Amino acid sequence: MKRYLLSDVDMGEEEAMAVADVVRGKWLSAGPRTADFEKRFAEEMGAGHAVAVSSCTAAIHLALQAAGVAPGDEVLVPSYTFVASANPILYCGATPVFVEIGGAADLNLDIDGLEAKITPRSKAIVAVHMAGFPADMDRVMALAEKHGLKVVEDACHAIGASYAGRSGGRFGGRKAGTIGDAGCFSFFANKNLVTGEGGMLVTDDEDLATRVRLARSHGMTKSSWDKAAGRAFGYDVASLGFNYRPTELTAALGLVQIGKLAAANARRTELVARYRDRIGDATGLTIPFADRLADSANHIFPIVLDRGIDREAFRAALDERGVQTSVHYPPVHTFSHYRRTLAANPCHLPVTEDIAAREVTLPLHPLLEDSDIDLISDAVRQCLDAARTPAATA
Ligand SMILES: Cc1ncc(COP(=O)(O)O)c(C=O)c1O
């Protein structure tokens, strides 16, 4: 039986040769290829500066730190996201304030709910572009300006997405990740651009870029590559930094992968359009963001089941037909670490909790054939019928 993987990677000889080249050169930590990758990435995104780091989590941490987030501050963030959108807030000693999402049709930040949670302690917003669809950045930026907040975009799902402009605002046409004070990207093993581990921070703020560049390598005023290449001898530690350096292997893979990004994203978009055509009218599910398509990197394909469908029975039935599924995401505020951390002020987000209990992610990656989508879609319809609870069928 054919297995339909949730995600897969278009990676082959070109990447293998690029990595072999680095190995032969024997300098594996950040160096000249990393600088080339940063330059190419900044050009591709239309960003002033790009700083390569070891992960998106590191990028978000550096961005928040550069924004001055410190103990006593609050940072607004959706709970409906991967935990790495929120963990860096805790690294800074600040308090995450979890915000609702729109609902089954819009899995991004609910902007009215966001505004209602802004307090004098609010310092920043982490805006997540769920599934590849940019959040309403025009309203996010307007609120940030009104309340003097910094904005960090978690663009892990939205690499290469063009923001279409919403609420009649001024940011239409910009790439996701280039609108806030800093944008953070991941090149983790299942992302649209893959290097295994790795991340990038982009910004138009030269001072922020300089501080982040320093902080990613222990706060040292000279890079390890400058020292290894014999171009630098002494150095100062000008600020408290981290080891968030990427490797030359990451950059070598990234330089090949970035050349494939536009075509891969276009293919993802075609596949999502085909899914919508095949299951958009199925009774028992809602397809989020159904009124949008091209303004997305279409990183994952989430569906939200009706209340009368047993999610685990549905997923098990799909698995029996060879279709791998996943759940994006268990809400961050429901994890035990966060429940303990927020114990004094427990968090309840009914919309997030409801959607998270009904969401299922179907396979989406550029190596899928049209016929795969047709077969998965047929399986989805059959499994919806098999998973209807007695109350729903009565
Ligand atoms: C929405 C979101 N934020 C943050 C991250 C963290 O990225 P990384 O694994 O590169 O730290 C991920 C990656 O899985 C993600 O999906």
Q: Could you write out the three-class secondary structure of 324-340?
A: CCECCCCCHHHCHHHHH
Share of the chain above pLDDT 70, in %: 99
* CA 127 to centroid of ligand 1, rounded, Å: 13
Q: Residue holding tokens 């992960």?
A: 55
Q: Residue 50: its pLDDT value, please? A: 98
DSSP code for 296: S
Is there a contact between 333 and 339 (Cβ–Cβ < 8 Å)? yes
**Residue 155 beta carbon below 6 angstroms from any ligand 1 atom:** no
Quick one: average pLDDT of 249-257?
A: 98
Q: Is 129 in the pocket of ligand 1 (CB under 6 A)?
A: no
**Who contacts 230 (Cβ-Cβ below 8 Å, separation ≥6)?**
none
Average pLDDT, the chain: 96
pLDDT digits (tens, 9 = 90+) for 311-341: 999 999 999 999 999 999 999 999 999 999 9
| Rounded average pLDDT over 165-192 | 92
> How many Å lie between the centroid of ligand 1 and the Cα of residue 382?
33
**Partner residues linked to 77 by β-bridges:** 98
Atom of ligand 1 nearest to the CA of 130: 1
Q: Does the pLDDT at position 169 exceed 80?
A: no
**Helix, strand, or coil (residue 315):** helix
The CATH code of the domain at 13-257 is 3.40.640.10
How far, in Å, from the CA of 82 to the mean position of ligand 1? 6
* Mean local confidence (pLDDT), 101-112: 98
Residue 154 in contact with ligand 1 by CB distance below 6 A: yes
Give whole-number Cα distances, 354 to 102, 306, 348, in Å: 12, 11, 11
Domain regions of the chain by residue span? 13-257, 262-393
Strand order in the sheet with 49-53: 49-53, 199-203, 182-186, 150-154, 122-128, 74-78, 95-99
Q: Ligand 1 centre and the CA of 186: distance in Å?
A: 6
> Which residues does the annotation mark as catalytic?
191
Of all atoms in ligand 1, which is nearest to the CA of residue 59? Answer: 11
Interatomic CA distance for residues 127 and 109, integer angstroms: 7
Answer whether residue 393 shows pLDDT above 70.
no
- Average pLDDT (271-292) is 97
Instruction: Determine the average pLDDT of the residues in 28-54.
Output: 97
Asked if 327 and 359 count as a contact pair (C-beta separation under 8 A), the reply is yes
**pLDDT the model gives residue 15:** 98
The pLDDT, as a whole number, for residue 167 is 62
**CA 186 to ligand 1: nearest atom:** 10
| pLDDT for the residue numbered 340 | 97
Q: What is the mean pLDDT of residues 130-154?
A: 97
**Cα dihedral across residues 245, 250, 255, 258: positive or negative:** negative
Whole-angstrom distance between the N-terminal and C-terminal Cα of the chain? Answer: 34
Name the architecture of domain 262-393.
Alpha-Beta Complex (3.90)
